[in-house]
Amino acid sequence: MKEWVQKENLHRHIAMIMDGNGRWAKRKRRPRLFGHRAGVETFKKIVRICSDMGIQVLTVYAFSTENWKRSEEEVSGLMSLALTYLKKYVAELHENNVVLKIIGDISKLNATLQKEILRSEAMTAQNTGMILQIALNYGGREELINAVKNMMLDGLKGSEITEKTLNGYLYTKNVPDPDMMIRTGGEKRLSNFLLWQNAYTEFFFTETLWPDFSKKELEEMIEAYTQRERRYGGIQ
């Protein structure tokens, strides 16, 4: 086993922006959905790898609040990929002791998908292995607005609002903040992903398009992460 796998607390939570499916398909002169389908295959592989490595939480950005602006064909294609994924693979996740959570405003998703999400979450809720959070109709700003609204509905006083209380109103409540954020596909931005949670996260960018993202590259990033010194704004 590699040295970094044995170090404690160094790889508790990894977040990933799986970017580049469209360009990957374009290079092959295929439709964008062909790229997303290949993206799902890579996603399944990475889930297995992270779970085997003992990563505690993996959070991936599958569909953002801004992705509705894409063509009707692409949006419905992505929704149907999400539905097929849940239907076909939740049993495998369950066998691997993974806890599945969908983060985002699922009320805007179609009824069949919402039902499947609730079924999948319920099936895996008692598991004790890796927590897999899939962001679907997720936006960091929307998440924060939703949290503020709910704090007001619950009648919280200003003096009661702390980082801890706010954390408890986020979709990601009960999980630690990401230690690493990986973005494939060459862009170097956050795109409204986990705005609050990424305050002290270490970022890793790669030109590799998501369908080509490999175990080797992930291991290299984790190894590089262990070399970085995290000071959280202080001097240690």
Separation between Cα atoms, residue 99 and residue 90, nearest integer Å: 10
Q: Is 77 in the site for ligand FPP (CB under 6 A)?
A: no
Residue with nearest beta carbon to ligand FPP: 22
Separation between Cα atoms, residue 176 and residue 114, nearest integer Å: 26
Q: Is 104 in the site for ligand FPP (CB under 6 A)?
A: no
Q: Tell me whether residue 36 or residue 101 sits nearer to ligand FPP (CB atom).
A: 36
Determine the size of the site formed for ligand FPP (CB under 6 A): 18
Give alpha helix (H) positions in the chain. 3-6, 21-27, 32-53, 72-95, 111-124, 140-153, 163-167, 215-227
- Which phi and psi angles does 199 have, rounded to 5°? -50, -40
Query: Distance between the two ends of the chain, CA-based, in angstroms?
Result: 29
Site for ligand FPP in 172-191 (CB under 6 A): 185
**Residues designated as active site:** 19, 67
Separation between Cα atoms, residue 140 and residue 68, nearest integer Å: 15
Q: Is 134 in the site for ligand FPP (CB under 6 A)?
A: yes
Site for ligand FPP in 9-38 (CB under 6 A): 18-23, 36
Q: Is 85 in the site for ligand FPP (CB under 6 A)?
A: yes
- Site residues, ligand FPP (CB under 6 A): 18-23, 36, 39-40, 43, 62, 67, 81-82, 85, 134, 185, 210
